[in-house]
Each structure stands twice: as C-alpha cells, then as structure tokens.
Amino acid sequence: MLARRALLRNGALGLGSIALGSLLAQDGLGAPVSPRTAEAGKMPAFPGPVPGSPPHSAPRAKRVIYLFQSGAPSQLDLFDHKPGLADRRAEDLPASIRMGQRLTGMTSRQETFPVAPSRFRFAQHGRSGAWVSELLPHTAGVADELCFVRSMHTEAINHDPAVTFFQTGAQLAGRPSIGSWLSYGLGTENQDLPAFVVMVSQGSGNPNDQPLYDRLWGSGFLPTRYQGVRLRAGAEPVLYLSDPEGMDREGRRRFLDDLRRLNELKLGEVGDPEIGTRISQYELAYRMQASVPELTDLSREPDHVVDRYGPDARKPGTFAANCLLARRMAERGVRFVQLFHRGWDQHANLPKQIEGQCRDVDQPAAALIADLKQRGLLDDTLVVWGGEFGRTVYCQGALTAENYGRDHHPRCFTVWLAGGGVRAGHTHGETDDYSYNVVRDPVHVHDLHATLLHLLGLEHTRLTYRYQGRDFRLTDVHGTVVSGLKG
C-alpha cells in the first residue's frame, strides 16, 4: 500500500536502524518482557514469557557465558585421551576408520594419512576422574565442576560455515544468533546494559587465524534490538556511545526527548517496528553512558581477585580481562555474554601454537568458574567452552618427531559445560580409538542448542519467529534435549 518513494524512504530508515543496532542493540526495557509486546502490530508465533516468570518451564539457568574458541581446538591434545595411539605413530589411518568420509582440500591429496599421537601427557583429575591434558592444569583443577561432551559432531567442515552453524543453527549467514534468540525469548534483567554482549580476543597461538564477522552476533530477521553489542578494549568500549564535544548530559537528555517525539510521529505514520527499536536504542545508549564506564572499571576489584584470572587480566582486550568482565556482567544481569577467542587453527606447528593458546585461556576460564561459584552465581549461570569442530588424528603435512599439524574434523570433538543445571563431574559420550568417529551418545550442534535452551526454561520447538511465511527457530527442524547432560 506504499508508494515507491515512501517505500525507499522507509527502507533507508530501516538500514539506519540496523547500523545503530549493531552497536547498541538490546532490549533495555527492565524486567523480562514478552516479544509479543516488543513487536508493535505483530503477533509472533512464540507466545512470549510473562514478565518475571519462566516462559515454558522452570529454568535452571538465568544467563549464559559462552567461551567460544574460534579455529577449533584439538580434542586429541586437550580432552580426548587416546593412549593406544602411541604404538600406532606414523601408521596410515585405516580405511575402516576413515570410511570414505570427506576431507578438506588441504589434505585430500595427501598420499598417506599418518597417525599423530599427542605429544602431551594426560592425567585423571578430581573425584570424577576426568582426563585432561597437561596443557590445561587450571582447568583440571575445576574438573569436578565441568561436564565434558566428548561426542560432539557437526555438519560443516570449513571454518566460516561451521562457526556460523554454531552461532545461528544454519551454515548460511542471515539467521539470528543464539544470543539474539535468548534476548528475544527471555528479555533483559538490567535496563542499563544490553542483554547480549560480545567481546573478541586474539590468541597467541595463530595470529593469522580465521576472521570473525559482526553477523555472528547479529539478529538476522529478528528485530535489531536483539543484536549483540560488541564491547571493545580501550577508552571507548562501545563505538559512538560518548557525547560529541560541547554536549553535556542535560543537553543530551533534551536532544533525545525531542528526537523521540519525532520518531514517535514517524512510527505512528508508517508503523515500522524498526523505528520503535531506534527509540529504545537511543534510550539504552543514554543509560549506557553511565553504566558501561562503571562496568569496565576494574580499579575496585581486589588485587587477589584480578590475580586469580592470570597475568593478562589487567590488559584490556585479552581473554583473561574479558573473562573478568564476563563475571561482572553476570552479576549485573546481562543475559548472554559471548567471548570469542581466536587462534586455534593449527594446521601446522600445532605443539608450539597450542601451548600459547592454552596459556591464554586455561587460568582465566578456570578462574571464572571458581569466581562464579564463590559468589553463588554458578548455579544459575551456564558456561560453555568449545570451538566449531575438532581436529584430525592424522597429520597434515610432514610428521616429525617434534612437530605435526591437524586438519579440520567435524565428526567428533569436545566441548565442556559448567553450572546452570548441567551434570557436574561427568564425561558424556565416547569416540573410537582414533578419536575419529563417535561410538556412544552422539550430540549434534542442534542437540546442544536444544539442551542449552531447555536449561534456560525455553522449549526449542516453541521459541519461534515468523518470517516470510515460515516459523523459524534456532534448531531449525532438528534437535533433541540431551538428558544425560542435565544435573
């Protein structure tokens, strides 16, 4: 019913809202709100939670801290102990194990696939007896708090589609990210901070690792208010949040009041819900001008707490500093905090590179678990650690006495979970003697997503959004809650 000129004009407004949303988007309306009330003039398929109550079932977790290890950590060198491989070193991987499974273009033309046992020692830890590599001594110290899922598998074999699949439930870009789905389904607990915050750190293992894109924390076809807000290191943690020179707090308030009235007039004229998003995001940005500096100021943290996270905890932008900030966000009710740590793509020189990566993440991740537990937050905070797929048992390139590399491997890998209703001190699933195939209790990416949503009180088949005539969800048309992961 719109004229062509009006359509183009309104489309331009929508693009502006998307740009703003990528920086500032979140709910910011206080107590948990229903998506039904958030979408002016729409009736989403998801019935929406009642404010202050769980949407589908009693939740075990209220929030998520997702420690995403981008590049794919080697399960063989960290968690999936295969002592029998020592006697098979340099042997060609049996065809009965490979079973004609697809390979990447990086190793598909290799004449042989020599078995490369891990160079690192493993030991059992805690009452649970979990096997953990010597590379992760601090993680081993909290093993009884963790649930290791050794039977993860995925569909994508290359980084970009695999990372996208883990974040959105689809290999092709354009779907809402998991943090956006949670913001949409559960709303926010803090009206002064975004519901979904993202931080990115560069690992010391592989500085030329795969890039990460803003769309990985985007809202897709959900309203842009549900996009993640990236928190950066430095003097300006959120871009364009500070006032321009010459504008004080009172002047900013008057400006926003006038701008709100103009936007409300346009909203009444065209009914575009993105205008409503723009109004709420300006208000959230105004509140964040006070809340974000307080959040990122670590000067009031006791030295013994900061030291617990390791020597890099005082360096802004490091994984250690981001883990400490994640705990502070959990205290303040941020619904979904995602830490991306790059550098895990070890196609060559794995022994040296993985040592650096583990130094980056081991102590901070373990400190986060201990810190949350000490403060009584671990029970209702769900922590996830893992990458987009695993690594091959066979060596990519030349195998030497001191060096080897590993290619991508989607058929089996390990992630760990903690807190938020998961089964602590448990190892789920099993792989074959080569860590090449899952032989017991497989867990697909859709299954993991379904289980995470279940622990948050959301039924994955009911958390839907209608777009282009179809009801979409994070798990698409798949996924089963894995009861063995629940405590």
Residues facing residue 152 across a β-bridge? 413, 443
Residues facing residue 140 across a β-bridge? none
- Mean pLDDT for 87-113 is 96
The pLDDT assigned to 287 comes to: 80
Rounded Cα distance between 337 and 329, Å, is 8
Q: Where are the beta strands (DSSP E) in 26-167?
A: 63-69, 122-125, 130-133, 146-153
pLDDT-derived band at 24 (thresholds 50, 70, 90) equals very low
Q: Exposed/middle/buried for 297, CB within 10 Å: 0-12, 13-18, 19+?
A: exposed
Host domain of residue 474: 4-485
Taking only the tens place, the pLDDT of each residue in 331-368 is 999 999 999 999 999 999 999 999 999 999 999 999 99
H/E stretch holding 330: helix 319-331
Rounded to the nearest 10 degrees, the angle between the axes of helix 273-296 and helix 319-331 is 110
Taking only the tens place, the pLDDT of each residue in 192-247 is 999 999 999 999 998 888 899 999 999 999 999 999 999 988 778 887 677 778 77
Taking only the tens place, the pLDDT of each residue in 110-167 is 999 999 999 999 999 999 999 999 999 999 999 999 999 999 999 999 999 999 999 9
- Is 431's pLDDT higher than 90? yes
**How many structural domains comprise the chain?**
1
